[in-house]
Amino acid sequence: MNRREEAVRIQRTLAVAATVALLAVAGACGSEDSDDKASGGGPDKADLVVWINGTDTPQEARDWLKKTFEEQNPGSTLTIEQQEWEGLVERFTTALTSEDQAPDVVEVGNTQAPTFTTVGAFSDLTDDLDDLGGDDLLQGFVDGATIDGKTYAVPYYAGSTYVFYRKDLFKKAGITEVPTTMDEFVEAAGKLKAESGEKDFSGYWLPGKDWRDAAALLWNADGDFAVPDGDEWKGNLSSDESVAGLTAFQDLYESASGAAADANEADPVTPFCAGKIGMMSRPGWVYGMLTDKKSGCPDLAKQVGVFALPGDDGEPAPVLLGGSDIAIPAKSPNQDLARKALALMLSDDYQSILAKAGLTPAKESLASALGDDEFAQASIEAASNAKLTPAAANWATVEGKMILEDLFSQIAQGGDVEELAAEADETLTAELN
Amino acid sequence: MPPPAVRRRSLLPLGLVLPASLALGLALGYPLVRQVVLSLQEFGLAQQFGQPPTWIGLGNYRELLGGDDLWPVVRRTVVFCFANAALTFGIGVGLALLMARMSRVVRVATQVGLLLAWAMPVVAAMTVFQFLFDRDYGVVNAALTGLGLDYDGHNWLIEPWSFFMVATIVVVWMSVPFVAFTVHASLTQVPEDVVEAAEIDGAGAWQRFVHVVLPSIRPVLVVVAMLQVIWDLRVFTQIYSLQRAGGTTDETHLLGTYIHALGIKGGDFGMASAAAMFMLALTVVLTAPYIVMMIKQEREH
């Protein structure tokens, strides 16, 4: 940063401080809830609302964030409101457009972020990037949230799913070694299912609507959802490679999965704890749910081993690079405070708590905080060959409209793969352009 | 009758009516005007976040009515609406007639039961029904299997027809109480001396019902039937939650969820508004006969 910028920055800070001081005086004369729009950065005291999705973020991290933020910003409070992953796109569409409803910091799925960054739903964070970690931040995530040189969201955590398996069931089925190729994996899944002899048992748990995990089979066959076509996007599910991948999904579902063809992957704990799962692809933090005394089944969880899903070539299969970004809604009236909260969520302390819970931290320098047990290894291996969904601006509406959920569910129900894929391509092409 | 008062121009009635009409006009008019405007614009997520929209005339309507997405949804919606309205109406009226003949204790018990079903929040009811029809752990499958039928692991939501059967059970279960209560209330208003007179004149039970009771509760029946059609046309929450529980979203859309998917999920508010306008027109067309009937009744009295 050169001197001029420094000077401007100081001036701006002073101006903000002066405005804030004035506002504080004005506020003292009566108005309790001063949301004066004159101060661009928002008031210096406010009740912040942070949206965190699902149960991924461990309670320890939530407590730390609330406590630290409130200590550092006396007079302000921070409330975490947990949102469901399902239906998140809908809630963003409605809540982020209104100043009254917009939360101050939001977590957004990394594949959903581009849709909202392109329409101006989030505040520009380009100037804050250096302070937040700069080059240390996971670059793929930063790139995904950058348009025309401006960055609107920063990584929160990454994580690809890897395979959880029951060691005792492997032994019972006579599988002595962890599968090292896709073929071996499919065979093991079938064996486990056959050994159980139960209709609702899953050798490999693959609910029909779980396209995020099924994507590994599509990509393993060199297929893809959509490909760039000039300036536009074109559905690519009916290409030969994609059809082969989708057929592999259908075969695997039929031979090994006991999950419903129209179910999603939201609740693996119930079937796992009922002893109905031999293998399943889940993110690392699910292990914490399995070992939980109240909602999980610690005894069964002791039998769990993990490995990264292998591809045809014996290397880790191309699984979906999952993860989250965090962003500040442009309509939040508390921009400055929101930036402070966001900075805390990217601090080494906070990110280390996430890492301990099995989430790949947003900063590369903290990767070692994952530890070096088999979970950490599987996690790093799985991420080594992970892929993103097509980088089309409208991708989130594909997710919002459940287009892929419908497609994979119908394939799992035994539908004609080529026909369904051709239909889905039409829908994808229409939706992405 | 008092003698007609000399007509004096007074602003009082106008002043009394004005605030209410203004509030009503704003509350109903603004969304409607906005909907019409939106339906004539290309209005997507970018516009939602502040970009200026473009006017495209009837473009949304052309795309909507010319495409092949809408019509299957309309067919489904109309069939679902009338099937549900008819079932609800039939069961509700039947219950009302039954209630008129129950002993006090039984009637109060029935009414409490109906009231509970009526008072149950939709989302809570949906959760319970999802549990009941769950593929792996549901009571329905367990009971049917217990009876020796092959319903182990039966998936109720995966086929559209059985998806709608479950939806029908929930919708009817939740709307029967309203019909039963309203019709029962109107039955208590049927003048007893008239019924007695008919009996003395030798009318049988069925004749008394058709020629005496029915005409006097007809206005209520018409209103109830019309409301039922309107409600069942707009059904949303039940379908939406069942779609989240299972089934194929695209094959189970009714107009309400279809519009929601276009707009809120898909970010195309222009098209969604056009579809909503279509739904409004459909509602008017479907309820027109009832409205005509109601107006006629008003005249007769």
Check whether B146 has a pLDDT greater than 60: yes
Of A34-38, A161-165, A366-370, B197-201, which range is least confident? A34-38
Q: Per-residue pLDDT averaged across A45-66, rounded?
A: 92
Cβ of residue B157 closer than 8 Å to a chain A Cβ: yes
Chain A to chain B Cβ contacts (< 8 Å): 78
Query: From residue A283, how far is each of A73, B206, B229 by CA, in Å?
Result: 34, 67, 47
pLDDT band of A63, cuts 50, 70, 90: very high
Helices within A73-166 (DSSP H only)? 88-95, 113-118, 129-132, 139-144
Minimal C-alpha gap between B79 and chain A (Å): 23
Architecture category of domain B69-300 in CATH: Orthogonal Bundle (1.10)
Check whether A338 has a pLDDT greater than 60: yes
Task: Give me the pLDDT at residue A295, please.
Answer: 85
Check whether A2 has a pLDDT greater than 70: no
Query: What is the DSSP code (8-state) at residue A102?
Result: -
Q: Which of A88, A93, A328 to mutate to test the interface with B (most CBs of B within 10 A)?
A: A93
- Cβ B135–A260 below 8 Å, yes or no? yes
Task: Give me the pLDDT at residue A74, please.
Answer: 92
Give chain B's mean pLDDT.
90
Q: Per-residue pLDDT averaged across B228-242, rounded?
A: 93
Tally of CB atoms within 10 A around A191: 20
pTM, two decimals, is 0.82
Complex-level ipTM: 0.81
Query: A162-320+401-432 — its CATH code?
Result: 3.40.190.10
Helices within A198-238 (DSSP H only)? 211-220
Check whether B164 has a pLDDT greater than 90: yes
The domain spans of chain B are: 69-300
Please name the residue of chain B whose CA is at the shortest distance from the CA of residue A207.
B246
Same fold, A45-158+323-370 and A162-320+401-432: yes
Cβ of residue B244 closer than 8 Å to a chain A Cβ: yes
Task: Give me the pLDDT at residue A373, please.
Answer: 86
Give the pair of three-digit tokens for residue A367.
Answer: 């990767």
Check residues A400 and A21 and name the one with the higher pLDDT.
A400
Nearest Cβ partner of A406 from B135, B136, B250? B250
Residue A202's Cβ-count burial label (10 Å; 0-12, 13-18, 19+) is buried
pLDDT digits (tens, 9 = 90+) for B203-219: 888 888 888 899 889 88
Cβ of residue A94 closer than 8 Å to a chain B Cβ: yes
- Cβ B264–A431 below 8 Å, yes or no? no
Check whether A249 has a pLDDT greater than 90: yes
Phi/psi of residue B48, each to 5°?
-60, -35
Tally of CB atoms within 10 A around A44: 19
pLDDT digits (tens, 9 = 90+) for B20-33: 889 988 998 999 99
Nearest Cβ partner of B50 from A120, A402, A403? A120
Task: Give me the pLDDT at residue B202, please.
Answer: 86
The domain spans of chain A are: 45-158+323-370, 162-320+401-432
pLDDT digits (tens, 9 = 90+) for A307-323: 999 999 989 999 998 88
- Residue A151 · residue A124 · CB < 8 Å: yes
A279 bridge partner residues: A165, A204
Nearest Cβ partner of B266 from A118, A260, A401? A401
A158 bridge partner residues: A323, A360
Distance, C-alpha A224 to centroid of its chain: 19
Q: Per-residue pLDDT averaged across A36-40, rounded?
A: 37
Check whether A25 has a pLDDT greater than 50: no
Query: A45-158+323-370 — its CATH code?
Result: 3.40.190.10
Cβ of residue B196 closer than 8 Å to a chain A Cβ: no
- Cβ A97–B265 below 8 Å, yes or no? no
Q: Which of B43, B250, B251 to mutate to test the interface with A (most CBs of A within 10 A)?
A: B250
Cβ of residue B127 closer than 8 Å to a chain A Cβ: no
